[in-house]
Amino acid sequence: MTARFTAETTALDGVTVLTRRRFGDERGFLSRLFCGEELRDFGWPGPVMQVNETGTTEKGTVRGLHFQHPPFAEWKLVSCVQGAIFDVAVDLRHGSPTFLRHVAVELSAENGKALLIPAGFAHGFQALSDDVRMIYVHSAPYRAEAEGGLHPEDPRLGIAWPLAISRLSARDQGHQAISIDFQGLDI
């Protein structure tokens, strides 16, 4: 089988940057957004339980940082199919040597990159262009009662957002800074 993407590891164990291969001709191209069989090698835990699309209209907008508490913690495969984003994953795994560290990757329709994020990480992004569209593939269904979030400007995280934050939802503004006694998620 021909690999449909190339993979690049990051400084955070389990977080992988995937670059989709485009197969094209005079009509255009085909690019596979998800292949469970290929992603098993990188830890994808099983079937897809949910696929979501988001649209973000304004450059500079930040969405996140969101996660699901165990036992509803989820894997995510995040792809940008229109525009460009600064995509961030933060390690929240209890006992991890990279606890509270993050990785950031530019994902865009042009570069064809996606970010594979294991359970135990918070995820968020900043729109680097207007009219961004994203596709999220989830290993578990969303549970409102399991939702968690971190404030994207929490100094303890040290995320250097590339643009001034132009828009942040009331929900995301309401996330508190991480308390000094936060021990992480038991995954």
Give the active site residues: 66, 136
DSSP, collapsed to helix, strand or coil, labels residue 36 as helix
What is the C-alpha to C-alpha distance for residues 92 and 147, in angstroms, rounded to an integer?
A: 14
In sequence order, what are the residues at sequence separation of 6 or more whose Cβ sits closer than 8 angstroms to the Cβ of residue 82?
A: 109, 131, 132, 133
Q: How crowded is the C-beta side of 3, counted as CA atoms within 13 Å?
A: 9
What is the C-alpha to C-alpha distance for residues 83 and 187, in angstroms, rounded to an integer?
A: 33
